[in-house]
Amino acid sequence: MSDDAAIEVRDLVRVFESRKGFLFREVVRTEALKGVNLRVRAGSIFGLLGPNGAGKTTLVKILSTLLLPTSGTAQVLGHDVTRETDWLRPRIGLVLGGERGLYSRINARENLRYFADLYGIPVSERERRITEVLERVDLSSAADRRVEEYSRGMKQKLHIARGILHRPAILFLDEPTIGLDPKSARETRKLVRSLIQDGVTILLTTHYMFEAEELCPELAVLSRGRVVAHDTIPGLRSRVGGDRTIEAEAYGFEDREVDALRALPGVSKVASEEYGPRTRLTLRMRTGVTGVEHVKAALREHPELTIRERRTSVEDVYLDLVEEEAS
């Protein structure tokens, strides 16, 4: 394993088997992971993107020692996840999305006291550490309220407090802002960013593209059990056709006009989408040679044409990569 890598995965495969049919005699094999290779640098926030069923949660469960791989190898902090679980588990923090994992009839401080005992935090340090993490997640004033009285955002903060209570070296966050209101989601992202100051490596799965762009300098896109891209955000933009995107909308376009746009210098891709009676053409631009004025000239026969230029977003990159894999 590389010296600066917190996670290194090679040819990882996970197959689930189920039975169906008469007397459940037919065995159905589902490949959730199909030879995944991945490397995450220590001390970074690494984003893992992918549609539902892509294998994100399966990968996180394997890396956090909750699930065995079918084949391949995975090392976390330089240790094998299948053979060295006793060494790894005290050094791993895991925060899964949703409501589970907390005891609602007791307060936050009592919840953390219970988990501190599970983590083996010495009694002499326990109360001080609980106070520290409650302050860190901004729950000090609500520490003695029952968790059943908490909002969803407060519960998510408590999940993170539990995940960092034992000072893990690596933290797995599985969709930490799912279902949160915008204010709570922003506070959660701010909290996640602050954890890097403690030297924690974070692997974050999310469906929110703007969240990945805001938090993660490096990303991998998982689709149908495979990593289809792994790069920095500028590198991913380059992969799908460039940093610039030009969009043109009108009431329909002829094939010759679309062909003319494809022939413009620096145009790497032209995609078409229907928006009610209007059609939008999206152009990915590799260079600055072609601009809005050139697109307007190629489509000059449309009096109600709307054209705008913007930066290629992570959502654009993600949709292009997943669409490319599906085709």
Looking at residue 308, what is its pLDDT? 92
Q: What DSSP state is assigned to residue 225?
A: T
pLDDT reported for residue 1: 55
Pairing of strands 92-96, 5-20: unpaired
- Say which amino acid occupies 88: L
Domains, the chain, with CATH or none: 5-237 (3.40.50.300), 241-311 (3.30.70.260)
- Could you give the C-alpha distances from 223 to 49, 152, 182, 263, 327, in angstroms and in order? 9, 29, 27, 31, 12
Report the predicted TM-score, pTM, of the whole model to 2 decimal places.
0.84
Specify the pLDDT at position 327: 54
Q: pLDDT-derived band of residue 312, with 50, 70 and 90 as boundaries?
A: confident
CA distances from 243 to 144, 265, 267, 318 (A): 49, 15, 11, 14
Whether 109 shows a pLDDT value over 70: the answer reads yes
Tell whether the model's pLDDT for residue 148 goes beyond 90. yes
Count of other CB atoms within 10 angstroms of residue 288: 11
The residue type found at 46 is F
Residue 48 has pLDDT above 70, yes or no: yes
| pLDDT-wise least confident of 22-31, 59-68, 264-273 | 22-31
Higher model confidence: residue 268 or residue 34?
Answer: 34
- pLDDT over threshold 80, residue 287: no
